[in-house]
């Protein structure tokens, strides 16, 4: 017998849990499919604080933030499959799931994608030199440390200034490692400013902007690496190469939405976010398939993930229960210093407000965020500083969205 659910949520991290709870509130019968042995996703390994200020109004650690949602999910009438992986999703929303109990197919009225993201690797950026032990993504080192209790090494260089890398600089320092250096290819940090302060500056860890690794040394274990400043085309200036001895290199060079499940489904994808193109309900180009959290676009704050997932989960329930009417949409386009804006489509004629999130291409000071519809400014805000590492939000009145929307900096 094939099981049926109104909403199947793929992924039991912060996005999946918030989506499931939101779908339940709308009266849907919900299944959450989670790969790990427990709910919570990557939050479980983020033992640092800084979560929940916006959502819960207090500062929590990752496991605490996750726990609040886990307790809610467990106390509600939501089916959860752990150690379960979706192997295939079809456009007619059949979800094929593998677990230690067996291989089953579930029919879903709507599907919420909440699989999160993965880290870009040393291989993907083709770091030159040897390929020794001691080179890991920051998240893998974080998992080994915070979940398993093992420190990968004690003389550490970090490539990239993504938040996980910065957080791991502090974690490893506090566990007795020496973080020698952080290297960032760009002239600015890709992580949050406060993490530069509290994870690097507090521990006198130097960060070199516009630098990259030119060569790894050592085999079978990393013994050191060469690095150099880069020119304006981000090519290393080899005459200025320097050496640092280390036994560990952590990479924090970007996160990529993990949309492998969509290959073979004809979902419209954004080449910029690597996530699906969605409307204000976070519905993809396939009706009834929704996407939220880091699988849609990489967020800085879990609080925003939870909020976005609530939108997606609620809308998925509405869809499955037949409470939606499709309408014409306007497109949301990013230009002039705005890298992408999301959602990329908004249904015409709604009431109330809609939030649009965006990231900038570069660091900009004293720019004005401008939103135009049919050549008219419908929104304008002055800013002191904008950086690609920090997602911005603008709130628009839906009645203003009578035509295609352009988000730009002036």
Measured distance CA(402)–CA(328) in Å, rounded: 10
Question: By CB neighbour count within 10 A (0-12 exposed, 13-18 middle, 19+ buried), where does 183 fall?
Answer: buried
Q: Which of residues 331-370 bind other proteins (CB under 8 A)?
A: none
Query: Which residue is associated with the tokens 């704050």?
Result: 301
CB of 176 to other proteins, least distance (A): 4
The answer to whether residues 156 and 171 touch, using CB atoms and an 8 Å cutoff, is no
Pairing of strands 224-229, 242-245: antiparallel
- CA-wise closest residue to 283 among 294, 291, 273: 291
Stretch 232-251: interaction string toward other proteins, x if CB under 8 A: ----x-x--------x----
Piece in contact with other proteins (CB under 8 A), picked from 21-29, 171-179, 309-317, 319-327:
171-179
Q: Which of residues 17-76 bind other proteins (CB under 8 A)?
A: 35, 44-45, 47-50, 53-54, 59-64, 66-67
Q: Which of residues 367-386 bind other proteins (CB under 8 A)?
A: 384-385
Nearer to other proteins, 319 or 357 (CB): 357
| Structure tokens, 388 | 């690609």
The answer to whether residues 390 and 348 touch, using CB atoms and an 8 Å cutoff, is no
Measured distance CA(28)–CA(313) in Å, rounded: 10
CB of 12 to other proteins, least distance (A): 14
Query: Which residue is associated with the tokens 């992924």?
Result: 11
Angle among Cα 178, 180, 184 to the nearest 5 degrees reads 135
- The answer to whether 98 contacts other proteins (rule: CB under 8 A) is yes
Which of 3, 56, 72, 133 lies at the binding interface for other proteins (CB under 8 A)? Answer: 133
Nearer to other proteins, 47 or 402 (CB): 47
Size of the site for other proteins (CB under 8 A): 84
CB of 131 to other proteins, least distance (A): 7
Nearer to other proteins, 247 or 308 (CB): 247
Nearer to other proteins, 4 or 221 (CB): 221
CB of 329 to other proteins, least distance (A): 29
Helix (H, G, I), strand (E, B) or coil at 198: helix
């Amino acid at each position: 017998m094939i099981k049926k659910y109104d909403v199947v949520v793929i992924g039991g991290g912060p996005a999946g849990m918030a989506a499931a709870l939101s779908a339940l509130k709308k009266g849907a019968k919900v299944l959450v499919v989670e790969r790990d042995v427990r709910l919570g996703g990557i939050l479980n390994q983020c033992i640092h604080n800084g979560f929940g200020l916006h959502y819960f109004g207090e500062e929590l650690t990752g496991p605490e933030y996750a726990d609040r949602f886990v307790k809610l999910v467990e106390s509600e009438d939501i089916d959860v499959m752990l150690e379960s992986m979706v192997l295939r999703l079809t456009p007619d929303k059949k979800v094929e799931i593998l677990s230690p109990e067996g291989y089953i197919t579930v029919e879903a009225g709507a599907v919420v994608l909440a699989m999160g993201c993965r880290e870009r690797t040393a291989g993907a950026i083709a770091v030159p030199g040897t390929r020794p032990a001691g080179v890991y993504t920051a998240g893998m080192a974080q998992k080994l440390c915070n979940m398993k209790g093992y420190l990968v090494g004690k003389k550490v260089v970090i490539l990239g200034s993504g938040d996980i890398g910065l957080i791991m600089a502090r974690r490893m320092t506090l566990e007795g490692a020496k973080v020698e250096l952080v290297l960032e290819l760009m002239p600015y940090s890709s992580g949050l400013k406060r993490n530069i302060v509290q994870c690097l500056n507090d521990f006198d860890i130097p960060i070199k902007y516009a630098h990259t690794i030119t060569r790894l040394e050592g085999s079978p274990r990393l013994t050191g690496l060469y690095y150099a400043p880069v020119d304006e085309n981000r090519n290393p200036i080899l005459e200025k190469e320097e050496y640092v001895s280390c036994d560990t290199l952590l990479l924090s060079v970007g996160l990529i939405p993990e949309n492998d499940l969509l290959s073979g489904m004809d979902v419209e994808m954004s080449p910029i976010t690597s996530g699906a193109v969605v409307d204000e309900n976070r519905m993809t180009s396939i009706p009834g398939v929704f996407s939220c959290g880091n699988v849609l676009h990489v967020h800085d704050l879990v609080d925003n993930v939870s909020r976005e997932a609530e939108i997606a989960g609620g809308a998925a329930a509405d869809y499955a229960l037949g409470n939606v009417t499709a309408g014409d949409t306007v497109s949301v386009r990013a230009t002039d210093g705005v890298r992408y804006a999301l959602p990329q489509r908004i249904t015409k004629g709604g009431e109330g407000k809609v939030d649009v999130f965006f990231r900038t291409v570069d660091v900009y000071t004293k720019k004005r965020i401008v939103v135009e519809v049919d050549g008219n400014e419908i929104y304008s805000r002055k800013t002191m500083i904008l950086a690609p590492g920090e997602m911005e939000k603008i709130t628009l009145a839906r009645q203003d969205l009578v035509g295609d929307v352009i988000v730009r900096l002036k």
